[in-house]
Amino acid sequence: MVLVGKKAPNFSAKAVVNGGEIVDGFSLEQFIGKNHVLFFFYPKDFTFVCPSELHAFQSRLSDFKDKGVEVVACSTDTPESHWGWLQVPKDKGGIKGITYPLVADQTKTITENFGVLFGDYFVNDNDELEADGPMIAFRGLFLIDKEGIVQHQIVNNLPLGRNVDEALRMVDALKHHEDEGEVCPANWEKGKDAMKENFAGVADYLSKH
């Protein structure tokens, strides 16, 4: 499912915020008109690649905040599972020290609505409900603008961790386009030349590179 250019699916769910407080009714709607949002899914608490990603985003959290971006994570675990994992030190495989919100998608509807649920439910020949996958999230990442529109998404399979620097680069590209009205060519980074969105602008850029 491609959500780019569309309104990010709305939801209201329990989440763990500030490193240990369980809250009801957490929603991305609170950021509309105020902040961009980097919303990412990870497969499961108490696993292996996942803490490396969660800590990697935490280590750059101030960079996202400085750019006006809220970081929010989500998995299909319970809020109690999130809370428990937050009590485990980093050197023991835990995520103690993570301060951005962790959404608990217990019903798997958020993950399904964002198109990153690994598996589907079906009724077998014995009228029993089964699943053809683990029913956890792929490593989906969505950059959502202040209007609630998805501007960028990537989805990785379970073994493939994401690159936080690339996520920050995409934030810079989006904000440059919003602020300057220019489009960002291949391998663009903040501080480099961009293009005017017309043939003259493209020709000028290409003549210099």
Nearby residues of 42 by Cβ (< 8 Å), 6 or more positions away: 50, 53, 54, 73, 74, 75, 137, 139
Q: How far apart are alpha carbons 140 and 117 in whole angstroms?
A: 9
Candidates 13, 15, 16, 50; catalytic one: 50
Q: HSE, CB side, 13 Å, CA atoms: give it for residue 194.
A: 18
DSSP type of residue 76: S
Q: How far apart are alpha carbons 50 and 67 in whole angstroms?
A: 24
Please give the angle made by the CA atoms of 27, 29 and 32, to the nearest 5 degrees. Answer: 145
Q: How far apart are alpha carbons 24 and 188 in whole angstroms?
A: 40
50 is catalytic: yes
Cβ atoms of 93 and 85 closer than 8 Å: no
| CB burial of residue 64 (10 Å; 0-12, 13-18, 19+) | buried
Q: How far apart are alpha carbons 206 and 46 in whole angstroms?
A: 48
Q: How far apart are alpha carbons 151 and 148 in whole angstroms?
A: 9
Catalytic residue numbers, as ranges = 50
